Amino acid sequence: MTTPTPILTAALDAAGRGWPVFMLGRSKRPVANCEDCPKDAHDPATCGHLTCHGFYAATTDPARLAAIVNAVPGGQLAVRTGAVSGLAVIDVDPAHGGDASLSELMTAGLVPRTLHVHTGSGGLHLYYRHPGHELPSRPMPNRAGIDFKADGGYVVLPPSLHHRTHLPYRWGTAADHVEEMPPALITACLPAPTPAELHPHPTTAAATTPGGGISHPDKLLSAHLDAVRHAPKGKRRTTLYGAARGVARMVAAGAIDRTDAITALTDAGHRAAQTPRDIQAAITGGFRDEGIAAA
Ligand SMILES: [Zn+2]
Ligand SMILES: [Zn+2]
């Protein structure tokens, strides 16, 4: 047997902790589905293909992990967060004000010292124990630059290289223990009250297969965003909501990263002259109504 690569060693180590892991492509997006999967509608959770359906491919099985890592050379190793791994991660993004928000959280005693990762882009992932009841992944309310990754989410693991900086993700050395989430932190991560009811708007079915699979994620994303761009003035808000639902389904299928999806939708909303509040409400509602990691 040949020496395992650093990524495989890390994958096996994570699996040994009971964390299901999978591989992202070099671009930090889930690996594209195979040619066959889009042909028939099926349950991504039981598909069984090594690298299809994004995080649904995550496993703790050593032999399977070796095959997955081997199938995506140069990719990033990622761990599913949420009840499935028992992990809930505070994701601090300094490029969007995360450092200041983290200081506030520390001052308020919400983020006790715990196992953490320094990301390849200067950010921080704080690992906590998932409390056991459902906690969706979402941007943390009122805390700029902080994402909360739990059910429906994933984070990149060391020693993966960041897709833009090419710097490695590294384990922090100060704490090796995954702490419980303080109750106040759980509360701070819970979804805000739901926004006003909006009505779904049918989106373009381009780039989907008859079975509802996604054959061309880029084209499908463009179709959703174009619908917003071309919507008449009075219909833009509901069209954005409809687009958010469509894009949420793409996130659920692992065809696009959730953060990228929200960025693209937010941008489309701004171009359609929607207020930040309406944009947030449309995206949050669309994601929630598709039953996935709410935005
Ligand atoms: Zn497949
Ligand atoms: Zn499949």
Assess contact for 114 and 171: CB atoms under 8 A.
Answer: no
Q: Is 275 in a helix, a strand, or coil?
A: coil
pLDDT at 194: 45
- Give me ligand 2 centre to Cα 20, in Å: 18
- Give me ligand 2 centre to Cα 184, in Å: 39
Q: Is residue 201 part of a domain?
A: no
Give the ligand whose atoms come closest to the C-alpha of residue 56.
2
pLDDT at 98: 96
Cβ neighbours of residue 209 closer than 8 Å, sequence gap 6 or more: 38, 39, 215
Neighbours of ion ligand 1 (CB under 5 A): 34, 37, 49, 52
Q: Is residue 196 part of a domain?
A: no
Could you tell me if 114 and 162 lie in one domain? yes
Q: Is residue 210 part of a domain?
A: no
Could you tell me if 167 and 230 lie in one domain? no
What is the C-alpha to C-alpha distance for residues 93 and 293, in angstroms, rounded to an integer? Answer: 18
Give the ligand whose atoms come closest to the C-alpha of residue 53.
2
Residue 242 C-alpha from the chain's centroid: 20
DSSP bridge pairs for 30 = 24
- Give me ligand 2 centre to Cα 40, in Å: 8
Domain count, the chain: 2
Give the ligand whose atoms come closest to the C-alpha of residue 51.
1
Q: What's the pLDDT band for 161 if we cut at 50, 70, 90? A: very high
- Give me ligand 1 centre to Cα 30, in Å: 13
Q: Is residue 246 part of a domain?
A: yes
More confident residue, 172 or 192: 172
* Single-letter amino acid, residue 60: T
More confident residue, 21 or 225: 21
Average pLDDT, integer, range 276-285: 90
Q: What's the pLDDT band for 202 if we cut at 50, 70, 90? A: very low
Could you tell me if 74 and 162 lie in one domain? yes
More confident residue, 193 or 136: 136
Could you tell me if 183 and 221 lie in one domain? no
Q: Is residue 212 part of a domain?
A: no
State which of 189, 206, 228 marks the end of a domain. 189
State which of 142, 174, 189 marks the end of a domain. 189
Q: What's the pLDDT band for 293 if we cut at 50, 70, 90? A: low
CATH number assigned to the domain comprising residue 112: 3.30.2250
By the 10 Å C-beta count (0-12 exposed, 13-18 middle, 19+ buried), 176 is classed as exposed
By the 10 Å C-beta count (0-12 exposed, 13-18 middle, 19+ buried), 74 is classed as exposed
pLDDT at 4 over 90: no
- Cα angle, residue 150 at apex, residues 145 and 151 outer, rounded to 5°: 135
Percent of the chain with pLDDT over 70: 89
Could you tell me if 167 and 237 lie in one domain? no
Could you tell me if 273 and 148 lie in one domain? no
- Give me ligand 1 centre to Cα 57, in Å: 10
Q: Is residue 204 part of a domain?
A: no
Across the chain, mean pLDDT equals 87
Could you tell me if 167 and 26 lie in one domain? yes
Q: What's the pLDDT band for 207 if we cut at 50, 70, 90? A: low
Structural domain that includes position 88: 6-189
Could you tell me if 63 and 119 lie in one domain? yes
- Give me ligand 2 centre to Cα 52, in Å: 6
Assess contact for 125 and 116: CB atoms under 8 A.
Answer: yes
Q: What's the pLDDT band for 166 if we cut at 50, 70, 90? A: very high
Average pLDDT, integer, range 255-278: 88
Q: What's the pLDDT band for 167 if we cut at 50, 70, 90? A: very high
pLDDT at 213: 59
Question: pLDDT tens across 181-201, in order?
Answer: 999 999 999 865 544 433 333
Question: pLDDT tens across 81-132, in order?
Answer: 999 999 999 999 999 999 999 999 999 999 999 999 999 999 999 999 999 9
Question: pLDDT tens across 214-234, in order?
Answer: 677 787 888 888 888 888 888
Could you tell me if 54 and 140 lie in one domain? yes
For residue 221, give the nearest of 257, 191, 272 by alpha carbon. 257
Give the ligand whose atoms come closest to the C-alpha of residue 47.
2
State which of 189, 209, 234 marks the end of a domain. 189
- Give me ligand 1 centre to Cα 47, in Å: 7
Give the ligand whose atoms come closest to the C-alpha of residue 253.
2
- Give me ligand 2 centre to Cα 209, in Å: 13
SS3 content of the chain, % helix, strand, coil (to 5): 40, 15, 45
- Give me ligand 2 centre to Cα 47, in Å: 4
pLDDT at 253: 76
pLDDT at 201: 39
Could you tell me if 160 and 17 lie in one domain? yes
Q: What is the separation, in whole angstroms, between the first and last Cα of the chain?
A: 44
Percent of the chain with pLDDT over 90: 53
Other C-beta atoms lying within 10 Å of the C-beta of residue 42: 17
- Give me ligand 2 centre to Cα 33, in Å: 7
Could you tell me if 106 and 230 lie in one domain? no
More confident residue, 188 or 256: 188
Q: What's the pLDDT band for 78 if we cut at 50, 70, 90? A: very high
Cβ neighbours of residue 129 closer than 8 Å, sequence gap 6 or more: 86, 87, 88, 178, 179, 180, 181
Could you tell me if 108 and 171 lie in one domain? yes
- Give me ligand 1 centre to Cα 112, in Å: 41
pLDDT at 1: 57
Give the ligand whose atoms come closest to the C-alpha of residue 46.
2
Other C-beta atoms lying within 10 Å of the C-beta of residue 206: 13
Q: Is residue 198 part of a domain?
A: no
Task: Say which residue the tokens 């509602």 belong to.
Answer: 285
